[in-house]
Chains A and B, each alone.
Chain A
């Protein structure tokens, strides 16, 4: 137990700076950028928390992690207990500690945020989760006696994994169906190794397998069995966590040229198919010398930083609004800047130009200015007439979002969707228009965050358990 110090003294402690790989070194490898806090740093950072009674930080967290309680356990040096405290409401702390947009969730609400810097909640969350995993302290949870009920989970992203983890503990028989050959969803195919090492996701899935969850990879529900057929096979409830689907393109001239990828394709080739590892894997990828990534979200930052690591001389972010409107996590933007990514703000491409072989070589762009706010409350970018200019590029990655994958909806009669094709649910129970069928994560909200997907999974698991123990079986 660390000696507690006066509140006034606590406020004098500097926020811990996470050690990280130097930019010039890390742009040449795919290893994780921040190394994680040392134990000493974690203890010092934990001291900064004022253990507020009402703890506003908790309200900022979509799954209401008991932040002061877990930080207190750090001060008791019982790091595994701290990790378990977090896991009471968030099953993926090693992931969330790394990828949550803390600066707009838990940390922005921290009482220290106004006058000082907020407590580094995400860093601490990562610290305890890593400590637990690296020291083999992860406990296989006690599992309730079998209930005889079977639940099918479609998709193994954070939403599906959370539902599986919660329901298996309650004694239900759980099978996760995953279309790709590896489980994890965006955590494995989208977010790069240098931001979220894949062995962490693997460890989460392994722990779940050890608890009794069955994984059926390379199985596409809707193509193989439909939801109705799963019920016929004896499943009592189904959870749909199929994520955001089809990538959006710009819809401008020349988009079919070679060297124009969606972010999904580019990142899948590099992450899931491990094209960055030319020695060990066969996946080809276009490496590019001058790379433009279109967009300003996390996906765009991941793509542009990947391109630098794959050897680009110039990697550009081309974004139609200004830096203030960029939806990416602050940390990712800073990391990108440190790595020498060049930002072209208020710029939009209007045409791609190719060579005789059909490879992209240039991109015609327009400069934009910010007009009055639009529906999203952000100022709408408007093109400046006659501001056209040409950029030389040999690789373009389009990272402007996804629209929903229609596969499940189109093969499940009576499943209601909204006008964007997202599945509509009761926000309290995550139940869809079909009894016994629940949904959550990006397939409901459109592209959102890991913790929101996991939070939806929590809610759904609770409701599914209720339904299986009290509810009637659907006809």
Chain B
């Protein structure tokens, strides 16, 4: 079973986990993802690759606590194990030297655009990175992005740090001012990716987005991850996760992501309400600070 090297909190709801999976890491490329299972009764959760240490065989994933499984992930201690980590899944991000390329990361999307920025840079591009979060405390990886990007723009929705506003506003302004951006890679919440594609459409800049529909196997077997791109059905786990942002049907994607909202809420509640569960106790403390 894959060993977890460390698992640390890096924001109010954000954690960073490093897993030792040398054979996977040897093959993995920016833009791909893995599926992990915490324990025997757990769900299979897809997680983007947020960093690869090829020398030590370490994979970094950065995750947000949104439900039961991601909450459970926080309870794995450094030195512990998880049941499974399968991958690398999906097609690696397309990388070439376009001259100037821009990566846009919103919220948890700041993580997966980091290795992509590195790959763009290695290919010889001038890299402009735009990262944004709800507030200062939700921001992470600023230093890492700063080390890779030729130009880094940081923003927060509430203006508590950096530029006040959305990543798409920053991108809009750059393009308006004539930045020679030839390619944009945007990863983040669906509404953010949608707005970014609207902006780049106007300036006719090709744009990749990384889609995160609900998945089961991640190998093309179930079809649960199907998305509509250019009027065609694609399986995000094998055909993606990167797609031409100007061709993606975001309406359908948004609706499909809500398929299990109610069941997920119930599972989380049942878990948190169980007075005998020790895991639940540590998650309760974490999710609702100050409560016991």
What is the CA–CA distance of A256 and B229 in the complex, to the nearest angstrom? 12
What is the CA–CA distance of A251 and B233 in the complex, to the nearest angstrom? 9
A249 at interface, CB cutoff 8 A:
yes
Least CB separation from A277: chain B residue: B41
Stretch of B137-145, B255-263, B279-287 lying at the A interface: B255-263
A217 at interface, CB cutoff 8 A:
yes
Q: Which of B23, B43, B228 contacts A256 (CB 8 A)?
A: B228
B198 at interface, CB cutoff 8 A:
no
Q: Which of A219, A225, A264 contacts B223 (CB 8 A)?
A: A264
Tell whether A405 pairs with B255 under 8 Å between CB atoms, given A219-B86, A268-B216.
no
In chain A between 238 and 276, which residues have their CB closer than 8 angstroms to a CB of chain B?
A: 245-247, 249, 251, 255-256, 258-259, 261-262, 264-265, 268-269, 273-274
A282 at interface, CB cutoff 8 A:
yes
Write the nearest CB–CB distance from A301 to chain B, whole angstroms. Answer: 19
1/0 per residue A212-234: CB within 8 Å of B? Answer: 00000111100111000000000
A284 at interface, CB cutoff 8 A:
yes
Is A284 touching B233 in the complex (CB atoms < 8 A)? no
1/0 per residue B191-219: CB within 8 Å of A? Answer: 00000000000000000000000001101
Number of interface residues of A (CB under 8 A): 38
Q: Which of A224, A258, A262, A264 contacts B256 (CB 8 A)?
A: A258
Tell whether A246 pairs with B235 under 8 Å between CB atoms, given A223-B88, A286-B259.
yes
Is B263 touching A284 in the complex (CB atoms < 8 A)? yes
B85 at interface, CB cutoff 8 A:
yes
Chain A residues positioned under 8 Å from B23 (CB to CB): 224-225
A280 at interface, CB cutoff 8 A:
yes
1/0 per residue B69-94: CB within 8 Å of A? Answer: 10000000000000111111100000
Is A256 touching B252 in the complex (CB atoms < 8 A)? yes
Chain B residues positioned under 8 Å from A246 (CB to CB): 220-221, 223, 235
In chain A between 364 and 388, which residues have their CB closer than 8 angstroms to a CB of chain B?
A: none
B→A interface (CB under 8 Å):
23-24, 27, 37, 41-44, 68-69, 83-89, 216-217, 219-224, 226, 228, 233, 235, 238, 252, 255-256, 258-260, 263-264, 267
Tell whether A181 pairs with B84 under 8 Å between CB atoms, given A220-B219, A225-B23, A284-B260.
yes
Is A405 touching B43 in the complex (CB atoms < 8 A)? no
Tell whether A258 pairs with B255 under 8 Å between CB atoms, given A264-B223, A268-B222, A283-B43.
yes
What is the CA–CA distance of A405 and B216 in the complex, to the nearest angstrom? 16
Chain B residues positioned under 8 Å from A180 (CB to CB): 217, 219
In chain A between 335 and 383, which residues have their CB closer than 8 angstroms to a CB of chain B?
A: 357-358
Chain A residues positioned under 8 Å from B222 (CB to CB): 247, 262, 264-265, 268
Looking at A225, A261, A273, A286, the one whose CB has the most chain B CB atoms below 10 A away is A273
What is the CA–CA distance of A261 and B83 in the complex, to the nearest angstrom? 27
Is A256 touching B233 in the complex (CB atoms < 8 A)? yes
Tell whether A247 pairs with B221 under 8 Å between CB atoms, given A256-B233, A284-B263.
yes
Write the nearest CB–CB distance from B283 to chain A, whole angstroms. Answer: 13
Is B44 touching A224 in the complex (CB atoms < 8 A)? no
What is the CA–CA distance of A282 and B44 in the complex, to the nearest angstrom? 10
Tell whether A224 pairs with B24 under 8 Å between CB atoms, given A218-B84, A256-B226.
yes
Is B85 touching A262 in the complex (CB atoms < 8 A)? no
26 contacts between A and B (CB under 8 A): A179-B217, A180-B219, A224-B23, A224-B87, A225-B27, A245-B220, A256-B228, A258-B255, A258-B259, A259-B259, A262-B222, A262-B223, A262-B224, A264-B222, A264-B223, A265-B223, A265-B224, A268-B221, A280-B41, A281-B41, A282-B43, A284-B260, A284-B264, A286-B259, A357-B258, A358-B258
Beyond A258-B255, A405-B220, 5 additional contacts (C-beta under 8 Å) are A220-B219, A225-B27, A273-B43, A286-B260, A358-B255
Write the nearest CB–CB distance from A284 to chain B, whole angstroms. Answer: 4
Tell whether A265 pairs with B256 under 8 Å between CB atoms, given A246-B235, A247-B221.
no
What is the CA–CA distance of A259 and B214 in the complex, to the nearest angstrom? 13
Chain A residues positioned under 8 Å from B37 (CB to CB): 181
Chain A residues positioned under 8 Å from B216 (CB to CB): 265, 268-269, 273
A→B interface (CB under 8 Å):
179-181, 217-220, 223-225, 245-247, 249, 251, 255-256, 258-259, 261-262, 264-265, 268-269, 273-274, 280-286, 357-358, 405, 407
Chain B residues positioned under 8 Å from A256 (CB to CB): 226, 228, 233, 252, 256
Is B220 touching A217 in the complex (CB atoms < 8 A)? no
Least CB separation from B45: chain A residue: A282
Least CB separation from B262: chain A residue: A284
Least CB separation from A283: chain B residue: B43
What is the CA–CA distance of A461 and B99 in the complex, to the nearest angstrom? 54
Chain B residues positioned under 8 Å from A280 (CB to CB): 41
Is A247 touching B258 in the complex (CB atoms < 8 A)? no
Chain A residues positioned under 8 Å from B68 (CB to CB): 282
Least CB separation from B89: chain A residue: A223
Is A358 touching B256 in the complex (CB atoms < 8 A)? yes
Q: Which of B43, B84, B87, B221 contacts A264 (CB 8 A)?
A: B221
What is the CA–CA distance of A325 and B27 in the complex, to the nearest angstrom? 47
Tell whether A249 pairs with B223 under 8 Å between CB atoms, given A179-B217, A280-B41.
yes
Is A179 touching B219 in the complex (CB atoms < 8 A)? yes
Chain B residues positioned under 8 Å from A264 (CB to CB): 221-223
Least CB separation from A267: chain B residue: B222
What is the CA–CA distance of A328 and B220 in the complex, to the nearest angstrom? 25
What is the CA–CA distance of A225 and B27 in the complex, to the nearest angstrom? 8
Chain A residues positioned under 8 Å from B252 (CB to CB): 256, 358
What is the CA–CA distance of A283 and B44 in the complex, to the nearest angstrom? 9
What is the CA–CA distance of A249 and B222 in the complex, to the nearest angstrom? 11
Looking at A224, A255, A269, A405, the one whose CB has the most chain B CB atoms below 10 A away is A224
Chain A residues positioned under 8 Å from B259 (CB to CB): 258-259, 284, 286
What is the CA–CA distance of A257 and B68 in the complex, to the nearest angstrom? 25
Chain A residues positioned under 8 Å from B226 (CB to CB): 249, 256
Least CB separation from A251: chain B residue: B233
Is A255 touching B235 in the complex (CB atoms < 8 A)? no
Write the nearest CB–CB distance from B54 to chain A, whole angstroms. Answer: 15
Write the nearest CB–CB distance from B272 to chain A, whole angstroms. Answer: 13
Is A220 touching B86 in the complex (CB atoms < 8 A)? yes
Write the nearest CB–CB distance from B83 to chain A, whole angstroms. Answer: 7
Looking at B37, B87, B224, the one whose CB has the most chain A CB atoms below 10 A away is B224
Least CB separation from B37: chain A residue: A181
Write the nearest CB–CB distance from B208 to chain A, whole angstroms. Answer: 21
Is B223 touching A407 in the complex (CB atoms < 8 A)? no
What is the CA–CA distance of A246 and B233 in the complex, to the nearest angstrom? 12
What is the CA–CA distance of A440 and B284 in the complex, to the nearest angstrom? 50
Is A218 touching B217 in the complex (CB atoms < 8 A)? no
Write the nearest CB–CB distance from A271 to chain B, whole angstroms. Answer: 12
Which 8 pairs from chain A and chain B are nearest by CB? A358-B255, A265-B222, A284-B260, A218-B86, A284-B263, A262-B223, A218-B84, A265-B224
Chain A residues positioned under 8 Å from B264 (CB to CB): 284
What is the CA–CA distance of A274 and B216 in the complex, to the nearest angstrom? 12
